[in-house]
Amino acid sequence: MKKFIEKIVLRNNTCRIPKIVIHVQASFNNTIVTVTDIRGKLVSWSSAGASGFRGTRKGTPYAAQVAAFNAICTLVDQQQGIKIKLAEVIIKGPGLGRDATLRAVSRNSILLSFVRDVTPMPHNGCRPPKKRRV
């Protein structure tokens, strides 16, 4: 009985999050959507694999859209119906889910303050392997 009471107390002390940061990692094989607050504390997350897609379908734009929708819906459920006003989107990776994730976020009536692309680009890269001798 004591454990049940602690869970109720924790749910009542959930803080309201007025502004969120949505991190999108879009690879060719999967798309991972992570929702954090301004300080970087994890609030909710979802991925194409966690949304029920398997194999090559995880890399599709539709799977990325469903993953973003699931991450935001769990956040709205935690906020008990209070709408989130502002969001920052940070996109990383070359995958197909980049644009689909942005569309899914904007459909949920969330204002985007800015969208930042932080895809790592090599300036010169690693040294190539030695030339093959046959």
Tell me: the pLDDT tens digits for 57-78? 999 999 999 999 999 888 877 7
Domain-embedded: residue 133: no
**Structural domain for 84, as ranges:** 18-117
Domain-embedded: residue 129: no
- The total domain count for the chain is 1
- Is residue 46 over pLDDT 90? yes
Rounded mean pLDDT of 53-60?
Answer: 92
Domain-embedded: residue 108: yes
CB atoms near residue 119 (< 10 Å): 12
Domain-embedded: residue 27: yes
Length of the chain: 134
Domain-embedded: residue 7: no
pLDDT on residue 65: 93
Domain-embedded: residue 128: no
Query: What CATH number is attached to the domain comprising 32?
Result: 3.30.420.80
Domain-embedded: residue 81: yes
Domain-embedded: residue 101: yes
What residues have CB less than 8 Å from 28, skipping those under 6 apart?
59, 94, 95, 96
Q: What are the DSSP E strand ranges found in the chain?
A: 19-26, 31-36, 42-47, 86-92, 111-117
Question: What's the chain's average pLDDT?
Answer: 84
